[in-house]
Amino acid sequence: MNQVIKKLAEMDNKVNFTVKDVVGVAVELGVSKHTAAAHVRRFPKVSRGVYNLEAALVPFRSAKSTVQNIGVSSVSNDEVYVPKIDDTFVAWGNSTDISKIIKSGEFYPTFVTGLSGNGKTFMIEQACAKAGREYVRVQISPETDEDDLIGGFRLLNGETVFQKGPVIKAMEAGAILLIDEIDRGTNKIMALQGVLEGKPILIKKTGEVVKPAKGFNAIATANTKGKGSDDGRFTAATILDEAFLERFTITIEQKYPTPKTEKKILMNHMEKFNSVDDEFADLLIGWADTIRKTYEDEGIDEVISTRRLCHIVQTFGIFGKRDKAVQLCINRFDDDTRDAFLDLYTKVDATVKGVGEYPNDTGTTDYGY
């Protein structure tokens, strides 16, 4: 049908065609009447027997209207590139398995689940960096739709062009497609079902069929297993369709690192931010471990992640005070949780005085120093 659409595009600037118009051109080009009629009826109907084919015609109407590989604004990063090696990264847990999957070059859809801030995305990125594999990251949100993933028509310099989405870019490049926080999506991400089968997919708006290049693979991350969040911790997490989840070959569960591994991670970050304090690292790890155990016993509703500890280390590098770094980085929690966490920290660190004061009526902050 591409040749039929191309022929129609040469007919001045007309965008509305009858089924008879399309069938007539199709017959001239040796395409069956049935195929042509079925194809044209997929487009918006204008009136009885008349359909708007603009979406298919635009790419053929000028050289400037060909498919262009530029970004889709609603995703975090849809450029194909090899990530840089980050010296703060420490391989642990599932890193070896993820590296083997990425190095294999096989199509092997993988679902990685675990609590937030435990290094899922970073682990996949760094596995690509060390393997020299190209990588495309798509950040899923409740607003993500097929246009964000596959591509859509956009205005560029006053012209309507079709922009390929990050999924298509990854498929064509044979890259690793990281679908980040896939459990934030709605049923609109069902557009990925064919992608997760490793099959060619049809770009409905252009009629182009894209085949995945050798090496293409899809890896998804999520805070849940696609069954929603029973405890209410991840309120944006949705229940994913069972048939959709079945497309993933394996599911990997990512836990928080062991204290020994977490110490290496924190020391790497301390070196990065010129804030090396071996004792402080040990105290943070013990403090976080106690909180996590209490969380697992359902004694509290929040947890201190490895990412949060790294934030504390960076903040310590800026302000040079342990308790200030801790307090500033746990202010995001509700008041009761924040105070409980800070009180626990003051019990393990003899160098701090106790729970500091919070913003007063003058708008200034006294951290109790």
DSSP codes joined into one string, 32-63: -HHHHHHHHTTSPEEETTEEE-HHHHHHHH-G
Tokens representing 134 are 């190209």
pLDDT at 33: 83
The single-letter code of the amino acid at 244 is: F
Encode the chain (369 residues) as per-residue pLDDT tens digits: 777 777 887 776 677 888 888 888 888 888 888 887 888 787 777 777 887 777 677 655 543 333 334 333 333 345 899 999 999 999 998 999 999 999 999 999 999 999 999 999 999 999 999 999 999 999 999 999 999 999 988 877 777 888 899 999 999 999 999 999 999 988 899 999 999 999 999 998 888 999 999 999 999 999 988 876 665 566 567 888 899 999 999 999 999 999 999 999 999 999 999 999 999 999 999 999 999 999 988 888 899 999 999 999 999 999 999 999 999 999 999 999 999 999 999 999 988 876 554 443 333 344 333
pLDDT of residue 77: 43
Whole-prediction pTM value? 0.74
- Predicted pLDDT of residue 212: 96
Of the CA atoms within 13 Å of residue 283, those in its CB half-sphere come to: 19
Element containing residue 78 per DSSP (H, E): strand 77-81
Helical segments of the chain, H only: 2-9, 19-28, 33-40, 54-61, 95-104, 120-131, 146-149, 166-173, 242-245, 259-272, 278-296, 306-319, 322-330, 335-348
d(CA 4, CA 10): 10
pLDDT (0 to 100) of residue 355: 52
Query: Looking at residue 173, what is its pLDDT?
Result: 95
Distances in Å between the alpha carbon of 78 and those of 13, 81, 84, 121, 350? 33, 9, 16, 15, 48
CA dihedral angle for residue 354, residue 360, residue 363, residue 369, rounded to 10 degrees? -30
State how beta strands 16-18 and 77-81 pair.
Answer: unpaired
3-state secondary structure of 160: strand
Q: How far is CA 67 from CA 71, 172, 191, 203, 359, in A?
A: 12, 13, 20, 11, 54
Closest CA to 54 of 64, 34, 40: 40
